[in-house]
């Protein structure tokens, strides 16, 4: 298991976490390259169907990054995202699937360091957890 | 405790409906009507008092979700006043669809009944066809206050475990158990209907002994539900077991089309998104070794759970519609209970309680 490199799909809000990730890059803060980033205009635009699609296709984890509460450019996108993620996690839990493969984090445009730390932490966590069981099933 | 009228039998209710049409209190009545051969029932709407003869108010069949039928008619341009006779789970779905702005309730009056449950439509038809007096037996069970549906395998699973078989929020409630029935107004609209239709006999009544007898029936169903929930949670508790349960799914979308909570016209599953190009299949073969066909059945059900389980009214219409016998009521109703609990939400309970996915609180769900 030691050479297992988890794949993470990141749905990052353009106004905060995505810019934060950019900042981490320009400031040359090191973080693992396991994340594939998809830029969203708001965390409220992340439909859970995207998250499940990523998991069913075999991503080991999904990171949703949005603006801190009160900072969403569309007022309430992040609050709505939080409810959707809560529902998704409850469903996964009911189906005996580790809901902690999905992370929702508030990371602002200035928090390059926090972004790098979050990805590092998530990679460590997923390494311990092992590969997503969906990777090897033909059911999508 | 609302104003009620005593009915000597169920035919007395029909007389009231006839009067309401003749006196133009309503323009039409919507409910379950027999076909010409008296083999089966279907939803219909009429303003003709003669056709009302074919109406069956207490009828153990649910051929389609009543809320679906109501929402399919756009009453906006021609605002006719319709009295809609639907079961309690259909009423709960009406409430959800009103909140979703799919039903404009202003001109509609909803009559619902203390419900004894329904057979699968094919059973209902088969029994009638072979001369069994299905409705007669159903009515005599009501008269004896006996609990029929939860013990008989012929009844739909959703009905056998239904502990919300009493309408809480319709305009009119038919207290259907016992020899004498009562029609009770639960809302101002219902009250107005009774006042305009019935000349005398309206009064406030005390139903405490009725409620006591009813409670026994509901408690039985509740116990049955608890037992079935436990069995379900033991059986479907992993992705493997969930996948197995869904393995026969042909993604015909019947469950979605007939579910009252799946109202969205822009549903991704009504789009060509899942007509994958053939390269995708090659990629899946490469990565996963095999691909179950039709594809995306897991994604389909997980998406429905995510998008609508907070509004699942446990009507069981999904299961009734499934051609391959997937136990969808258990999946949606039991998992739906859990997602609803997060927000202390009960679908169909109130018109003012906000839909969980349409709102938020600034301070909540800290640990998500
Ligand atoms: S009705 Fe049954 S077969 Fe059709 S999509 Fe739903 S679960 Fe699958
Ligand atoms: S998911 Fe099934 S039980 Fe729930 S509301 Fe839809 S049709 Fe009814
Ligand atoms: S704009 Fe960033 S979460 Fe809404």
pLDDT in tens, A31-78: 999 999 999 999 999 999 999 999 999 999 999 999 999 999 999 999
Q: Which residues line ligand 2 (CB under 6 A)?
A: B 259-261, 312-318, 328-329, 332-333
pLDDT at B2: 78
Ligand 2 atom 2: the closest Cα is on which residue? B318
Checking ipTM against 0.90, whether it exceeds it is: yes
DSSP SS3 for B139: helix
Using CB atoms, which residue from A49, A69, A86 is nearest to B342? A86
CB B1 within 8 A of CB B205: yes
Residues B221 and B255 in one domain: no
Residues B24 and B83 in one domain: yes
**Within a domain: B366:** no
Interface contact A48-B268, CB threshold 8 A: no
Burial of B209 (0-12, 13-18, 19+ CB in 10 A): exposed
| Closest residue of chain B to A70, computed from CA coordinates | B362
Using CB atoms, which residue from A69, A96, A134 is nearest to B238? A96
Residues B147 and B284 in one domain: no
Q: How confident is the model at residue A138 (pLDDT cuts 50, 70, 90)?
A: confident
Closest CA to A135 of A48, A6, A47, A40: A6
Residues B96 and B219 in one domain: yes
pLDDT at B146: 85
Domain extent at residue B219: 4-226
Torsion of CA B115, B117, B123, B128, to 10 degrees: -30
Q: How confident is the model at residue B73 (pLDDT cuts 50, 70, 90)?
A: confident
pLDDT tops 90 at residue A3: no
Q: Which residues 220-239 on chain B approach chain A with CB closer than 8 angstroms?
A: 236-239
Place of tokens 């999946």: B331
pLDDT at B86: 98
**Within a domain: A27:** yes
Residues B161 and B256 in one domain: no
CATH number at residue A64: 3.40.50.960
Burial of B109 (0-12, 13-18, 19+ CB in 10 A): buried
pLDDT at B318: 98
Average pLDDT, chain B: 94
Contact B312/A at CB under 8 A: no
Residues B106 and B45 in one domain: yes
Of B180, B195, B226, which residue sits at a domain end?
A: B226
Q: How confident is the model at residue A2 (pLDDT cuts 50, 70, 90)?
A: low
Q: How far is the CA of A99 from the centre of ligand 1 (A)?
A: 26
3-state helix, strand, coil in chain B (%, to 5): 45, 10, 45
**Within a domain: B367:** no
Q: How confident is the model at residue B151 (pLDDT cuts 50, 70, 90)?
A: low
Torsion of CA B333, B336, B338, B343, to 10 degrees: -140
Closest CA to A48 of A87, A106, A103: A87
Share of chain B above pLDDT 70, in %: 98
CB B190 within 8 A of CB B172: yes
Place of tokens 């789970």: B89
- Taking CB atoms and an 8 Å cutoff, what residues of chain A touch B284? 138, 140
The verdict on pTM exceeding 0.90 is yes
Interface contact A90-B342, CB threshold 8 A: yes
Tens digits of residue pLDDT in B5-34: 999 999 999 999 999 999 999 999 999 999
Domain extent at residue A75: 8-129
Place of tokens 């997503």: A132
| Closest residue of chain B to A64, computed from CA coordinates | B368
pLDDT tops 90 at residue A119: yes
Rounded Cα distance, B319 and B366, in Å: 36
Non-local CB neighbours of B136 within 8 Å, separated by 6+ positions: none
CB B54 within 8 A of CB B133: no
CA-atom Rg of chain B in angstroms: 22
Of B171, B198, B226, which residue sits at a domain end?
A: B226
Residues B269 and B213 in one domain: no
Number of domains in chain B: 2
Highest mean pLDDT among A132-136, B37-41, B68-72, B249-253: B249-253
Residues B53 and B165 in one domain: yes
**Within a domain: B220:** yes
**Within a domain: B280:** yes
pLDDT tops 60 at residue B1: no
pLDDT tops 60 at residue B194: yes
Number of domains in chain A: 1
Q: Which residues 12-41 on chain A approach chain B with CB closer than 8 angstroms?
A: none
pLDDT tops 60 at residue B181: yes
Of B191, B226, B261, which residue sits at a domain end?
A: B226
């Amino acid at each position: 298991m030691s050479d297992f490199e988890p794949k993470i799909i990141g749905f990052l809000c353009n106004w905060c976490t995505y810019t934060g990730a950019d900042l981490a890059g320009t400031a040359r803060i090191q973080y693992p390259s396991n994340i594939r980033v998809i830029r969203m205009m708001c965390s409220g635009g992340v439909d859970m169907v995207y998250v499940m699609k990523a998991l069913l296709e075999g991503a080991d984890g999904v990171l949703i990054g949005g603006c801190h509460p009160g900072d969403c450019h569309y007022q309430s996108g992040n609050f709505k995202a939080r409810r959707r993620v809560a529902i998704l996690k409850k469903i996964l839990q009911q189906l005996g699937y580790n809901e902690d493969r999905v992370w929702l984090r508030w990371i602002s445009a200035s928090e390059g360091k926090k972004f790098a730390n979050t990805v590092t932490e998530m990679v460590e966590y997923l390494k311990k957890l092992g590969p997503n069981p969906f990777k090897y099933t033909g059911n999508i | 405790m609302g104003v009620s009228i005593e009915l000597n039998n169920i035919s007395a209710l029909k007389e009231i409906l006839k009067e309401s049409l003749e006196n133009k209190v309503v323009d039409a009545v919507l409910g379950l009507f027999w076909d010409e051969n008296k083999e089966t029932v279907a939803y219909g709407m009429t303003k003709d008092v003669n056709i009302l003869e074919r109406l069956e108010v207490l009828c153990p069949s649910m051929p389609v979700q009543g809320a679906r039928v109501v929402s399919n008619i756009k009453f906006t341009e021609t605002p006719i006043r319709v009295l809609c006779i639907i079961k309690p789970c259909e009423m709960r779905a009406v409430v959800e669809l009103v909140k979703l702005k799919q039903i404009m309730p202003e001109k509609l009056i909803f009559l619902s009944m203390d419900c004894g449950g329904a057979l699968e439509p094919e059973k209902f038809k088969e029994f009638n066809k072979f001369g069994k007096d299905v409705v007669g037996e159903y009515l005599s069970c009501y008269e004896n206050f006996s609990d029929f549906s939860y013990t008989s395998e012929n009844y739909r699973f959703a009905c056998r475990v239904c502990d919300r078989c009493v309408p809480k929020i319709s305009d009119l409630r038919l207290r259907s158990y016992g020899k004498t029935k009562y029609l009770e107004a639960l809302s101002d609209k219902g009250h107005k209907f009774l006042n305009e239709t019935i000349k005398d006999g309206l009064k406030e009544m005390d139903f405490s002994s009725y409620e006591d007898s009813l409670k026994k029936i509901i408690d039985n169903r509740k116990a049955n539900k608890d037992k079935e929930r436990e069995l379900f949670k033991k059986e479907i508790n992993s992705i493997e077991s969930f996948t197995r349960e869904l393995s026969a799914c042909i993604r015909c979308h019947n469950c979605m089309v007939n579910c009252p909570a799946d109202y969205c016209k822009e549903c991704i599953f009504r789009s060509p998104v899942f007509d994958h190009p053939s390269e995708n299949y090659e990629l899946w073969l490469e990565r996963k070794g095999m691909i179950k066909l039709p594809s995306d059945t897991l994604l389909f059900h997980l998406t429905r759970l995510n998008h609508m389980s907070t509004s699942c009214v446990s009507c069981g219409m999904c299961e009734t519609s499934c051609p391959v016998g997937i136990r969808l009521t258990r999946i949606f109703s039991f998992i739906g209970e859990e997602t609803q609990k997060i927000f202390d939400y009960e679908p169909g309970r109130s018109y003012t309680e906000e839909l969980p996915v349409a709102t938020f609180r600034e301070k909540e769900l800290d640990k998500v």
